[in-house]
Structure 1
Amino acid sequence: MAMSAPDLSAELPTSLSTAWELITQFVALGGRHVVLSPGSRSAPLAYVAAVAHEAGLLTLHVRIDERSAAFVALGMAKADPSRPVIVAMTSGTAVANAHPAVLEADHSGLPLIVVSADRPFELRGTGANQTTTQPGMFGCAVRWSTDIPAFAGVDGMTPADAQATRNAVNRAVAYSVGSVGGPRGPVHINVAFRDPLAPSSEQREELVRRAQRVRANGLDGGTVFVSSYPPNDASITAGQTRNTDVTHDVIDGLRTTTRTVILAGDTAPTQIIDIAERYGWPILAEPSSGVNGAAPTIAGGALILARAGHPISSVYRTLVEQVEHVIVVGHPTLSRDAIALMRRAPQLTIAPDHRVQWTDPTGTATAVIPFSVLSPHLRSATAVSTDATWLSRWQQAGSDLLTQLSEQLDAQEQFSAPGHLAPYQYVRALVASVTPQHILMVGASSVIRDIDRVAPVPACVQVYANRGLAGIDGTVSTAQGIALTSPDRHTVLVLGDLTFLHDINGLVIGPEEPPVSLTIVVLNDNGGAIFGGLEHARSGDPALLERVFATPHGARIDDLARGYGATYQRVNTPEDLGGMLTVKPAGIHVVEVVTSREERGNLDALLSQ
């Protein structure tokens, strides 16, 4: 039974009443997780969230580093994008530390709600301690933002103030999950609190009583306006005109244009698999696309695109040159070769879904049609095939390249000492060892590209990556958020040494916090290997490349891991690495694999021939 009206007892100070309305409305709308960093101005949120946690209304997670806290919340939203997650912090620079996660949530379309505590409005611009202009701090990266004032008075809230606070949460949730139009994404609630910020013992007891009543009786969820996004009749041509005829023209062209390729980036809609099977179209899928291992997904697709640019790879170049139409789903960002395919495609259709803005870095799209519009049209249309071998030729080419690659890697391994292998051998062993019980989180930079190139992900494995802006920050914390949301699975994070060091504070978890089971595989080549494959490596100054790009660090991964309270083990062979994944750890277990950037360079040269 839902309570028909909120409890506006004057026994609570206004600051705690405001926090109560905010947190309980979030719960009423389906919120389950709050990630909090400690602070004084945010104390009302901390007291209410802690009581709600004790009553079983939500799960509270505390992290001392606001940047890590925000990425933990991001990971939770990534694992279940239907439910928004709150990350809350105190005023001042604490809020700015959430900005990297907000940007990633913006470009990935994830429902992250930043709740920043603030001092009363009249203190802004006065030089008051820990006070800055927080409203608007995240600029255009948030879908919606609001500034809840420090309501006047000490005792309780007026009904109008309480309703205004609940309405703000209604809107925040609605905008974050994309239910009022526009893509999903982050929102910002800035809320000011006046003293007193802490409850007395009697007020603490009142909070507990309220939480118990909510546990027993529930709360009204309020109003969330629901509409579809994108509009079901909308299509956009390169000229930005909306015209439903465009959709039919593109569909007719696709039905009769057999040599179509689907480029599936991060979080692609899985319905694209059925469409590809229906028309015999190959899918070139990134590891975090969610469509790997499907029948039309080309194992070795990244190798085909890479070899197509080589002067002696006539078979692969011919195959790519025969592409007549490219359909882009998800958010492809990994490969310059994939971007080149988009640029040269005679017809390029971008099919965004409600999670992301459309991806057209080449500016050559001939049509942009929401996937929610394109999909039913393609499913209902009659497939017309004039080249029944199109898909099989891509499959054969990918298979041939992977066979060649396997032979090259095996030969390389025979002549390499332990600890001097390129990461390719290890990522092959890792991907071959994961099962449906595993969740794989992959760091940015070289590691995800290694998997894309040499270790096709099987269909049974769920893969996550921060591909919105593809930064290396917050990766350890994001994986924690995923693991906390999926406690029955074995979450494995594989990342490079720089990515690990960048979020080393993510290993700090208090003894009272919900436990995290996470295996972290660190491929340590003492620096940034990705720059060795970019144009900077051809600058002619190896010393400069090493210092300002590769940035060797000499850090002791074992000491760091143990110092932060994680368990540690080093493995020296790919087989040992595979064996490590059979046991789910009780906490955080760091597995170090020492690899060689020199061996990577030698093998890269071999693979490019």
Structure 2
Amino acid sequence: MSYTRALTAQTFSLIDTLHAYGMKELVISPGSRSTPLAIAAELHEGIKTYIHPDERGAGYFAIGLSKKSRQAVGILCTSGTAAANYTPAVSEAGLSHIPLIVLTSDRPQELKNVGAPQAIEQNGMFRNFVRYQTELPIADEHESAISLIDDKVMQASQFFTGINLGPVHFNIPIREPIMPDVDAVDLFNREEKNIEPPLVIPRNIERLQGQGLVIIGETAEDLSDLTELLSHDNLTVICDPRQNIRTKLKGSIVNHDLIFSSLEESQEEYIDTQADFIIRIGEPVTSKLTNGFLKKTKLPQILISEFQDIKPFPKTPDQVYTGTITEILSKLVETSNENSLKSWFTSLSNKIAAYIDHNIDSFKDEGRHVYEIIHNTHEDRTFFLSSSMPIRDFERYDTRVEHDVFANRGANGIDGVVSSALGLATSNPVTMLIGDVSMNHDLNSLLLAKLENIDFTIIVFNNNGGNIFSYLPQYAHKPHFERLFGTPLDLNFEHAARLYDYNYVRLDSVDQVQEKMLNAKGRNMIEIMTDREHNLESHNQLKAELKKVVQNFGA
């Protein structure tokens, strides 16, 4: 067997075996050393490929592809710093339990540490973030060559579903010549595996009675089957914006940040006396104030973690159950007609929402824009929210509660959010909310909508800097605030829209927000010009008004 035949057998078999175990999409960043793998994927009829020239964005685009379905998605690059640029996305995938299959092609050993170009130490480079890593040998004709690939992919596939869901890394050294036999498609002969997440049910579940708070963060598991159970009178359900059961569950509390930020001591005592337990499900919620309540309350807390790497933040729970959420919760809670706690929370939540609805016209800040965007965007569009202010403003102003929401909150960074939103938008229309600093950070990923003909609307709040820092202690130190934290960029994103062929609209007033522009097909950029100081003043004004609403509510 020639080296070319051995290389073709190795790379084509690797791609085909990954497909058999569920990899149906692969994001390729062009490069030379990855040639045989890229050609194999392009030839494989069962794999859809995407091209992203920037590895950092490619990794985040793949996260977006997997965000909703949690299906295994691959990324492929050449050797050297191309692989290193995957690091932010791999860390996000690790913390967010995204089954990202990282394929890094590499130089052979004789080119390592001798000064050869594009050669860095790649084996194990993502060890802090991946669930599994391996390096394949140089392709040869040994009789175990193909069975080794079958073994390695089978081992890695244990992390494509289940309680250890997360990214895996294959490093593949490739020696020249790098062109495979493009006619060897007969190597694509493996049957697809039936990959289903296992049911994991602990045996030690102790039944809970009484009234409880059920606080649900983001989950990989679809919780729709729990709608009936969670609707019972004795369960008060609090949902993070990323928990999309909130759109199906009548009476779920979505403005909890505004509640827990304003409670008086007597109201906190009322909650503690009425509730018998707190159940936390999934990832920690976004709200710092809700997490603050959880940290100081004396109520017993039970954490249901769908993954083995338990996240106890913000407070060590009294009990943890790991496994399938729908199975665990149905065995954990005893339903009843006790409703004093749920009635109190629901009435207060409705009062807050009504106050915002009735008084929003007196505000002209970013929050008002977010309110109008939510209320004028059709239900079939999905929102992808950048970190910092967009996700927090959405949580505050979503009195409609009809849209699915996604965000990157594993590492909570601002990098790659445009890429992830575009990955999600390949399966359904997406509207993204983002600030000017985050937008600039991932600007080149706008190209993907053009290359892949993606229906995508991106709304940029241009307040000329990092708006969230105005709400943090750094703001009090005026001499260095603007340079170190406010970071004004003085950018006009119309130029980016023209560069990447987006329809562009600039809004200088909330009165210009229109339903038609928010629901237009194609590639659309809406740049909204706002002022950070005005945003801060309006935000604090509404917060103060809502604090009175909460504190005047009886307990």
Report the TM-score when normalising by structure 2: 0.90
Cα 1:195–1:605 change in 2 (3 A) is same
Q: Does 1:533 align with 2:487?
A: no
Supply the distance in 1 between the matched residues of 2:357 and 2:449 (Cα, whole angstroms): 44
- Where does structure 2 lack aligned partners over 5 or more consecutive residues? 545-555
Tell me by how many angstroms 1:84 deviates: 0.6
Deviations 1:396-445, CA, capped at 9 Å, x for gaps = 11111222333443223xxxxxxxx3211111112112333211111111
Supply the distance in 2 between the matched residues of 1:499 and 1:26 (Cα, whole angstroms): 34
Given that 2:306 and 2:325 are in contact with CA atoms closer than 8 Å, whether structure 1 keeps it comes out as no
Given that 1:118 and 1:190 are in contact with CA atoms closer than 8 Å, whether structure 2 keeps it comes out as yes
Cα 1:171–1:446 change in 2 (3 A) is same
**Aligned equivalent of 2:345:** 394
For residue 263 of structure 1, give the secondary structure of its aligned residue in structure 2: strand
Q: Does 1:302 align with 2:257?
A: yes
Cα 1:581–1:11 change in 2 (3 A) is same
Supply the distance in 2 between the matched residues of 1:173 and 1:457 (Cα, whole angstroms): 40
**Aligned equivalent of 2:432:** 493
Q: Does 1:467 align with 2:420?
A: no
Q: Does 1:173 align with 2:157?
A: yes
Counterpart mapping for 1:233-244 below 5 A: 233=202, 244=204
Cα 1:446–1:319 change in 2 (3 A) is farther
Amino acid at match of 2:260: L
Supply the distance in 2 between the matched residues of 1:223 and 1:332 (Cα, whole angstroms): 32
Tell me by how many angstroms 1:297 deviates: 0.5
Given that 2:458 and 2:526 are in contact with CA atoms closer than 8 Å, whether structure 1 keeps it comes out as yes
**Aligned equivalent of 1:237:** none
Cα 1:123–1:139 change in 2 (3 A) is same
Counterpart mapping for 1:123-522 below 5 A: 123-152=111-140, 157-178=141-162, 182-199=163-180, 203-204=181-182, 206-207=183-184, 209-210=185-186, 214=188, 218-221=189-192, 228=198, 230=200, 232-233=201-202, 244=204, 247-248=205-206, 251=207, 254-256=208-210, 258=211, 260-267=212-219, 269-270=222-223, 271-293=225-247, 294-308=249-263, 313=264, 316-322=267-273, 323-345=275-297, 346-354=299-307, 357-370=309-322, 372=324, 375-376=327-328, 378=330, 382-385=334-337, 387-412=338-363, 421-456=364-399, 458-459=401-402, 461-484=403-426, 486=427, 489-509=428-448, 513-522=451-460
Tell me by how many angstroms 1:498 deviates: 1.2
Given that 2:378 and 2:519 are in contact with CA atoms closer than 8 Å, whether structure 1 keeps it comes out as no
Tell me by how many angstroms 1:222 deviates: 6.9
Given that 1:15 and 1:196 are in contact with CA atoms closer than 8 Å, whether structure 2 keeps it comes out as no
Greater shift, 100-109 or 278-287, is seen at 278-287
For residue 608 of structure 1, give the secondary structure of its aligned residue in structure 2: helix
Residue 74 of structure 1, aligned match among 59, 63, 66: 63
Supply the distance in 2 between the matched residues of 1:13 and 1:351 (Cα, whole angstroms): 50
Superposition CA RMSD, Å? 2.5
Deviations 1:212-269, CA, capped at 9 Å, x for gaps = xx4xxx5234798x88465x236xxxxxxxxx2xx21xx2xx313x2x2111112375
Percent identical: 25
For residue 444 of structure 2, give the secondary structure of its aligned residue in structure 1: helix
**Aligned equivalent of 1:582:** 519
Cα 1:582–1:544 change in 2 (3 A) is same
Deviations 1:88-141, CA, capped at 9 Å, x for gaps = 001111111111111111111111000000111233222322112111111231
Counterpart mapping for 1:79-158 below 5 A: 79-81=68-70, 83-152=71-140, 157-158=141-142
Supply the distance in 2 between the matched residues of 1:574 and 1:50 (Cα, whole angstroms): 48
Report the TM-score when normalising by structure 1: 0.82
Tell me by how many angstroms 1:296 deviates: 3.4
Supply the distance in 2 between the matched residues of 1:514 and 1:97 (Cα, whole angstroms): 22
- Where does structure 1 lack aligned partners over 5 or more consecutive residues? 1-8, 235-243, 413-420
Supply the distance in 1 between the matched residues of 2:434 and 2:525 (Cα, whole angstroms): 11
Tell me by how many angstroms 1:380 deviates: 7.9
Given that 1:307 and 1:317 are in contact with CA atoms closer than 8 Å, whether structure 2 keeps it comes out as no
Tell me by how many angstroms 1:275 deviates: 3.0
Amino acid at match of 1:536: Q
